[in-house]
Amino acid sequence: MNMIANNFAVFILTHGRPNNVITYRTLRKGGYTGAIYIIVDNEDSTIDEYKKNFGDKVIVFDKKAVADRTDTCDNFSEHNTVLYARNACFDIARDLGIDYFIQLDDDYTNFRGRLDENLIYKYIPCTQLDDIFCFMLKFYKSIDALSIAFSQGGDFVGGGSNPFITTLKMKRKAMNSFFCSVKRPFKFIGRMNDDVNTYMSLGNRGGLFLTIFNISIEQKRTQAQPGGLTDMYLKYGTYIKSFYTVMQQPSCIIVRLTYHDVNPRLHHYTDWNRAVPKIIDEKHCKRLTPAKVKASDE
């Protein structure tokens, strides 16, 4: 961890849950010893409680100032969205003198390894998060991605037979957790479904986002905790949430029911053949002979 201790931090984005920042406890229990900052907005009525619990590690940002330069993709007046906190993190990192950071929500209960040393699908509790963050950051620095993310439970439907495991390929998306750099800034967009809106709209223009299969996060069930985004999800539901992404990329995003759930709900689905630029293998290249080149010039 020493190699990134002075240049990396975890940002936990939270609102109205000063006594229930589950992610903080999960990180420390999992062996993470580095810097953690609690990111809250100045419209949070529980700021004093946050400061009582976390002291000078609480960073308060001006929500209206960030909102004024953020595209919510709607004309609603509510401010209860994580979108502003996500965009504020880049300025916060600069002010702290930090080049690299990871954004995490406040309700993670576990970090889990998904493969053993033989690449066999497992379910392994993470107890050395310092090393995991080091490896993730080293990989992030070595590629030209805007952000990379840990996987989530939903990425592994089907267990060991899931294509994510059988192919050992990364997914071109990033959700929920984001390794970021002030040297590679980008803006999140859309009041709801902000992570999907962002990797779809920027990915369509060539921006690279990746989900890493080795490690996954677990969190509380959506809408199960008071505070945060729960009120907005309960008010608008997943129908409106998913359509924020349809607005971004109507050529490759549709909304349909999730039939694999016990209680089906509306959710976005991506046609990846139309979603992002791809590198085509050179074997498919049809090279013109000199004669054909001349003929085509004429």
pLDDT tens per residue, range 155-181? 887 777 777 787 888 899 999 999 999
CA–CA gap between residue 148 and residue 137 (Å, rounded): 9
Find, among 216, 188, 196, the residue nearest to 66 by Cα. Answer: 188
Residues sharing a CB contact under 8 Å with residue 12, sequence separation 6 or more, in sequence order: 21, 23, 24, 36, 37, 38, 39, 104, 105, 106
CA–CA gap between residue 149 and residue 155 (Å, rounded): 12
What is the residue-wise DSSP string for 250-296? TTTEEEEE-TTSSS--EEEEE-TTTTS--PPPGGG--PPPHHHHHHH
Pairing of strands 100-104, 8-13: parallel
Place of tokens 């946050």: 50
| Amino acid symbol at 131 | D
Pairing of strands 266-270, 147-152: unpaired
> Are 121 and 157 spatial neighbours (Cβ–Cβ below 8 Å)?
no
CA–CA gap between residue 14 and residue 237 (Å, rounded): 21
Q: Domain spans of the chain?
A: 8-226
pLDDT of residue 132: 94
Partner residues linked to 293 by β-bridges:
none
Q: Using alpha carbons only, what angle is made at residue 249 by residues 149 and 237, rounded to the nearest 5 degrees?
A: 75
The H or E element spanning position 219 is strand 209-219
Per-residue tokens: 7: 């240049």
* CATH class of this structure's domain 8-226: alpha beta
| Amino acid symbol at 251 | S
pLDDT of residue 262: 65
pLDDT of residue 298: 45
pLDDT tens per residue, range 275-289? 998 877 788 877 766
pLDDT of residue 5: 63
Pairing of strands 147-152, 209-219: parallel
Per-residue tokens: 72: 């919510």
Intervals of the chain under pLDDT 50:
223, 228, 293-298
Helical packing angle, 230-248 and 194-203, nearest 10°: 20
